[in-house]
Amino acid sequence: MITGLGPITPIGIGREKYWEGLKAGRSGVDRIRDFPVDDFPTQIAAQVRDFKPEDYLERRDARRMDRFAQLAVAGAKLALEDAALDLNSVDKERCAVILGTGIGGLQTFEEQCRTLHQQGPARVSPFFIPMLIGNMGAGQIAIAFGFRGPAKAVTTACASSTDAFGQAFRLLQGGEADVVLAGGTEAAICPAGLAGFCALKALSTRNDEPERASRPFDRERDGFVMGEGAGILVLEELEHARRRGARIYAEVKGYGCTCDAYHITAPAPEGEGAARAMELALADARLAGEEIDYINAHGTSTPYNDKYETAAIKRVFGDHAYRVAISSTKSMLGHLLGAAGAVEIIATCLAVAEDIIHPTINYQHPDPECDLDYVPNEARRQTVRNALSNSLGFGGHNATVVLSKYNGC
C-alpha cells in the first residue's frame, strides 16, 4: 500500500504543489543559470530552483552530502510527514530503504576532480568518495531516520527508481519489512552531465523555447530535457497501515522488469522489451489489458523512445491501446533520469486516488507513428481503477508497475 508521497520536482516541492503543477500543465524547463552554457548546444534544463537543503537537514550534514543525497533525504522527510507515520511507534529493524539513482554524485565528482587538477591531491575532500557513491542516497535516508532493515541502491539507468519501487514491493510481499521508503533521486545538471548527454545528441536544442522543448509523442520532438529532483514513497504492509489508520492512496498490484539485450542506448525495435515488462506486470497483478484505464508513459520526447513505446503499448493492449489514456510527466518535468520513475509513480498514484489524469503538454503536431490518446495539453477527469507506469533505461532496462484503487478488502 502507498501511504506517503514526497516529490521534489522542478514544478513543485511536496505533494500538493507538485500535483497542482501537473494538473495545470506547468513546465519546469528554463535556461540553465547555475553555470555558463553559451558553448553548449543545449542550454536548457528542468532544475529545482527553490530547494534549500537547510530546510530539511542540519547545515553541517548537508555540506557532507552531494545534492542527489540532499534531495533524497528531503523527499523522504516529506513522504514520512505525508504518511503521518510516527517513527517512535514502528519497529525500525523492519523499516527498509530502496532507492534508485542513475548517476549518483556527479556534481561532487566534477568539483573534486577540478580540485585535484588545480590544487593537488592534498586538497581533495575526505568526503569525496562518501558523497560520490550511488548507495549514499539510501544510506543517508537510513541514517536520518534510523531505519535498520535493508537499505539498498538500484542503478538501472532511467528505470532505476521504478525498479527500486518494484523491489520494495517484493520486500513487503515476502514479509521482510513492514515499511519501505522507496523511490529515486538525481542531480546531474552540471557541466560534465550536460556535456555528456549533448555528446550523445540525446537532448533537445530548442533553447529559444524552453517551456516547449519537451514534447513527447509530438511529431516535432527533438530530444529530451535533463531534469533533477527526487521522488520518495512510503510503502506499507496492509495490516500495518490498517492498524494505524493510515490513508491509503493506492494499492501496488504488480511489477515486471526485463532487459532488451540489444543496445547501450537505443530501445529494441518495436519496443519488444518494454512490451514484455508490461505483460509481466499485468500477469503479476492478475489483470487483463482491458482493465487498465491509464498508462503513465516513459515518454521522453526522443524520436525512437516515443515511437517504440507506442508500438509496445499496441503490442500489449491490442485494440484497447486506442481507448486507454496515456500521458507523459516528462513533458513538464523533463527527464529526471534515475529519479524519473519515482516522480511518475507519484503522478500515477494521484491519478488513481483522485480520478484525474495530468496532460501531456506541448502536443501540437500529431505523429502518424504515435497515434494513441496522449491526453493532450489539458488534464482530464476520468475514473482510474488500474494504471501502469513505465520506465525504460539506457542499457535496455525496462520496468513497469501496476497501481490500483484500494477497495478496503
370 carries an active-site annotation: no
Annotated active-site residue in 95, 190, 335, 397: 335
Is residue 298 annotated as a catalytic residue, yes or no? yes
Report CA dihedral (68, 16, 223, 99) to the nearest 10 degrees: 30
Strands 294-296 and 325-327: parallel
The C-alpha cell 500529431 sits at 366
Type of residue numbered 389: S
Counting DSSP H helices and E strands in the chain, the numbers are: 13, 15
Element spanning 13, H or E: strand 12-13
Provide the angle, in degrees to the nearest 10, between the axes of the packed helices 67-83 and 136-145.
Answer: 40
- Gap between the Cα atoms of 73 and 241, Å rounded: 22
DSSP string, 81-92: HHHT--TTSS-G
- Which burial class, exposed, middle or buried, applies to 381 when counting CB atoms under 10 A from its CB (0-12, 13-18, 19+)? exposed
Greatest Cα pair distance in the chain: 64
**HSE toward the beta carbon, residue 35, CA cutoff 13 A:** 15
Pairing of strands 95-100, 386-393: unpaired
Cα-Cα end-to-end distance for the chain: 12
Q: Considering the candidates 158, 190, 349, 370, report the single residue annotated as catalytic.
A: 158
Active site residue 358: no
Q: Determine which one of 240, 298, 358, 397 is catalytic.
A: 298
Instruction: Give the active site residues.
Output: 158, 298, 335
